[in-house]
Structure 1
């Protein structure tokens, strides 16, 4: 999309969003798409994500037929898989949607449409491929057979074996043809693809090997400028080093000479394994810092990526050192970024991603960290949204305990109301509304923690009661309500950063539910089922 809209790396977010609007011809759809790629903090409503992405794809395909390639979808969360299925069924344009996956995808999506299974190459096909890669260079038949037998039908193995022969000078050009040099009849062939690629990397010049390893820290695709930032100053020009790696078919340019990608993920993995843990810790932190420093438009787009790099830096650091101030600093930064990425995922309706990101954020911080109760409440609400009810209860319960241990009264009350909301949904008749209201009354004065609670009501009176807790949050839940014969719990969002959970005891609850949440009161059973 950035290329189609001519968005430059240094464009301010507002200017980039204008370019997307000009491309799509619809300002609202442009804002929705812009929210998905981080050009604006406003996330599209969950129901608007599929049609907005569809509009983008159809617009790009209107000029000429479009091929959309999505690699490694066996790693994808269910939200992305559902979006791909929607595009495949609904896109009204000349679009070929090509999704590449390992076979295990079908364990999760047995009905995935249009499956084409790629079988290993036959012996005859492997021989034909190796001969073509060798440019008919007169390599002895027994050497070709050994390569094909070790490859086991894997074309990447065949490609890398021939590339190693070229690297070692055992085949080469003479005039306009390729020829074998020396006796290849007793050619040694590594037993595995991993060993083969490791042997190729061992044969690189030291500067080339260092460049490849630094690029591997960034990821499968990387920018030239970040690799330059990671290389020692005396190593040489990054342009010439990357050009050498392109010639040796280890990486390939992907855009305007500024970005490159590993020819295969296995090459990236083997290059990464050549680094020590100490180097990995240092380099991951430097990559995260570089992305934060250079991201101009849509810096929040990179929260998850920067969080990942800092998370990796933390894990490699603590594997070598005690949990020191450096580890604490890395963990704190990574936690904040992953938590914000999780909350952004929640706002756009990607609940599985929300759960995964919040769980990673929580795993980085200590049990007495002040942020922990709020993160646990967010995790519990997300788990309820996909019916992972035991996980939701565990998260809410831990949030109550963590807040109580830390002496955070406001956070504890929010966690208690969240836990109560869970119990009303699961077993409403077992909820003691009177006890809950009494607890709120006893704590309704003096509980005004800035940034956590902005309002708390617990009126007195024998006929009924009403608790209203408004809390700052990056991921307000969708409105819902659940009622029993004794009382009700409702949740709503008053803004993108504030949510309100309310508990009512009859007879006050029906009136308040109708007044504050008319939609919720008219469809309480359906909304409560998805809470």
Structure 2
């Protein structure tokens, strides 16, 4: 994937983004109430990612931009972090777990690895369905279709929020499980994954594996 940094939007650019996003949601161009425009643009302060996430959040809640009474009763989260966390909280339990396991794997992740690392999620087909939901609500995006079926977090902030919402002990255990998955499934080409193994085991509590792969990655880098 290619990451493009966007500068702060002007009010005109922000309004255009809002109209385009609402057109995407509703399938046709609609007149957007001025109060709605003001609410979104003032809170987002020109940040295009923040604008999109506010609109996604309101869509998750089923809010119609023309419903002034409903909008008046909504207290928007006060930061991009709390906004994304609120969106994650609206997912069901299995969708939340899928997103959080993926956040430990990395910005880019395979559906098969999510399932392999956390089989408690059930059948692979179920994990694929959860990922389709995450894609539909724009927390993640499809990077490669089947058979690879690779997804990525649309924004690194989303990955960070999901990752940091996990207790330290859970993150450490997942990092160790990811390391074990890589060892079990990529044994013949393990040398290509030394840096990744070093990263995951370094964030685990498996001291033996941590020392082993930090040493191997260091030697390979020389």
TM-score range, shorter chain: 0.7 to 0.9
2:220 to 344, 352, 362: 344
Pairing 1:254–2:147 present: no
SS in 1 for 2:14: helix
Question: Does 1:309 pair with 2:200?
Answer: yes
Q: Give secondary structure in 2 for the equivalent of 1:183.
A: helix
SS of match in other structure, 2:120: coil
In the other structure, the counterpart of 1:243 is 132
CA distance in 1, matches of 2:128, 2:10: 40
Tell me which of 150, 157, 164 is aligned to 2:43: 150
The within-5 A match list for 1:56-455 is 69=2, 71=3, 118-135=6-23, 136-171=29-64, 180-181=66-67, 183-186=69-72, 187-233=74-120, 235=122, 237-257=126-146, 258-314=149-205, 330-346=206-222
> What secondary structure sits across from 1:253 in the alignment?
strand
What do residues 70-114 of structure 1 show as CA deviations (whole Å, max 9, x unaligned)? x5xxxxxxxxxxxxxxxxxxxxxxxxxxxx57xxxxxxxxxxxxx
**How does the TM-score come out when normalised to structure 1?**
0.38
User: Displacement, 1:150?
Assistant: 1.4
Structure 1 CA distance for aligned equivalents of residues 167 and 151 of structure 2: 24
Q: Name the structure where strand makes up a greater proportion of residues.
A: 1
CA deviation map 1:209-239 (0-9, x unaligned) = 1110011110101111111123353556111
Question: 1:277 deviation in Å?
Answer: 1.6
Shift of 1:131: 1.9
Q: Distance between the aligned counterparts of 2:71 and 2:109, measured in 1?
A: 40
Q: How has the CA–CA distance of structure 1 residues 155 and 337 changed in structure 2, closer, same or farther, with 3 Å as cutoff?
A: same
| Residues 210 and 180 of structure 1, relative CA distance in 2, 3 Å threshold | farther
Larger radius of gyration: 1
Matched residues in 1 for 2:145 and 2:214: separation?
31
- Check whether the contact 2:142–2:150 (CA below 8 A) recurs between aligned residues: yes
Separation in structure 2 between the aligned mates of residue 271 and residue 262 of structure 1, nearest angstrom: 10
In the TM superposition, what is the alpha-carbon distance from 1:295 to its structure 2 partner?
0.8
Task: Give the Cα separation in 1 of the matches to 2:75 and 2:215.
Answer: 50
3-state SS of the aligned residue for 1:336?
Answer: helix
RMSD (Å), alpha carbons: 2.1
TM-aligned CA deviation for residue 189 of structure 1 = 2.5
TM-score computed with the length of structure 2 as normaliser: 0.86
1:181 Cα deviation after fit: 5.0
Which structure has more relative contact order (CA 8 Å, sep 6+)? It is: 2
Equivalence for 1:83: none
Q: Figure out how many residues of one structure are paired with residues of the other and give that number.
A: 212
SS of residue paired to 1:298:
helix
Supply the distance in 2 between the matched residues of 1:151 and 1:202 (Cα, whole angstroms).
21
Counting helix residues as a fraction of each chain, which structure ranks higher? 2
Question: For residues 309 and 263 of structure 1, what CA distance do their matches in structure 2 show?
Answer: 22
